Amino acid sequence: MVNTTDLRRIVKAGFLDFSRNVFTSLASVLIFTITLSVIAGVLLGGAALDTALRELKDKVDINVYIEEDVPESDIMNLRERIAALPGVREVSYVSREEAFFEFKQSKANDYLVLQSLEELGFNPLLAELNIKASDPSQYERIASSIEEDFGLSATGESLINKINYRDNQAAIDRLAKFISLSERVGVALSTLFIFIAVAVAFNTITLVIFTSRDEIGVMRLVGAGNEYIRGPFVVAGLFYGLIASVITVVLFYPLTKWVSVSTENFYGGIDLYTHYVSNFFEISAVVFVSGALLGVVSSALAVRRYLKL
């Protein structure tokens, strides 16, 4: 059992080891900084990918075009029933007049179209219900449910003129697959990057402690207990982790700023710098806990093999 005096001696010895092995300490802190940067980068990259995919999902929708003479009360009723379907995130109603107004607005510079509409003399557009699903893979099921169950009013008249899902089905399916694949690739790559970075940090510490194996042998022979031998290495590992954490969180200020400025022209997703600053405490907590754990656990495991009596 380690008492207060032992703990004080262990911490002091760990600090002296850290400060006297300047080259080894710097190399370890550098490797730890790279590892923690990968972890912080994965966190920020994950947030960026998440936002980009969410925006992409938001661009996908299906429209249900309503027959011309259906009263608005029936449309509102239909809207409520569709909104109650599982997987439906949002249903918005666009009346014939709104649809006509929006269409004219969008073609404000197209003289030919505007002239044709004027000559036509009436509003050719239909009212529509715009449906957004919580996930693009849900559109197939939602469209089928509407076609099969909601096609007729209470009096047996046809409510729905057309659902545009079938026109866009191939594109929506492809997009749904792309989004799902992107999410999975994102998780897999993040896991792989973190695994490689952690493995490199572990191996660095293993190498550092390998160079001290004779020293550990001497400590054993002068009768030092395992805690007394392991302690200073664990403390030095903790120093590596904490110093690397400070460097990483400081480094990410200019880094995220630079990435945000460099990508703002072609990437409309989140501003990484703003995201980093607004989530600074959460990201710092992850970085510091990861750094401390990495230092302590890797050192303790690396020393263990030399503690055999």
Which residues contact residue 44 at a Cβ distance below 8 angstroms, ignoring those fewer than 6 apart? 252, 256, 272, 275, 276, 283
Q: Report, in Å, the least distance between residue 46 CB and other proteins.
A: 41
Of 239, 268, 250, give the one whose Cα is nearest residue 10. 239
- Whole-number minimum distance, CB 229 to other proteins, in Å? 8
| Shortest CB 215 distance to other proteins, Å | 5
* CB 195, min distance to other proteins, A: 33
* Choice between 47 and 300, CB closer to other proteins: 300
Rounded Cα distance between 63 and 95, Å, is 12
DSSP code of residue 152: B
Query: Interaction with other proteins in 66-125: which residues (CB under 8 A)?
Result: none
**Shortest Å distance, C-beta 208 to other proteins:** 12
Kindly tell me which of 15 and 65 has the beta carbon lying closer to other proteins.
Answer: 15
Distances (CA, A) of 206 to 97, 145, 209: 72, 60, 5
Assess contact for 302 and 209: CB atoms under 8 A.
yes
* Residue found under tokens 């940067």: 37
Closest distance to other proteins from the beta carbon of 25 (Å): 11
Residue window 12-41: x/- pattern of binding to other proteins, with contact defined by CB under 8 A: -x--xx--xx--------------------
Supply φ then ψ for residue 88, to 5 degrees. Answer: -90, 125
* Residue with Cβ nearer other proteins (170 or 222): 222
Q: Give strand pairing partners of 130.
A: 63, 92
Taking Cα atoms as reference points, which of 35, 289, 246 lies closest to residue 27? 35
Degrees to nearest 5, angle at CA 275 with 57 and 189: 60
In the block, residue with structure tokens 């302590």: 296
For other proteins, the closer of residues 236 and 238 by Cβ is 236
Least distance (Å) from other proteins to the CB of residue 257?
Answer: 40
What is the spatial distance between Cα 168 and Cα 164, in angstroms, rounded to a whole number? 7
23 vs 281 by CB, closer to other proteins: 23
| Stretch of 6-14, 36-44, 51-59, 62-70 contacting other proteins, by CB under 8 A | 6-14
Nearer to other proteins, 8 or 166 (CB): 8
With CB under 8 A as the rule, give the number of residues binding other proteins.
22
Q: Which is nearer to other proteins, 84 or 309 (CB)?
A: 309
Q: Judged by CB under 8 A, which of 5, 73, 105, 109 binds other proteins?
A: 5
Exposed/middle/buried for 64, CB within 10 Å: 0-12, 13-18, 19+?
buried
Residue 224 vs 301, nearer CB to other proteins = 224
Site residues (CB under 8 A) for other proteins, limited to 177-236: 214-215, 217-226, 228
How many Å apart are CA 188 and CA 155, to the nearest integer?
A: 53
Q: How far is the CB of 206 from other proteins (least distance, A)?
A: 19
Residues in contact with other proteins by CB under 8 A are: 5-6, 9, 13, 16-17, 20-21, 214-215, 217-226, 228, 309
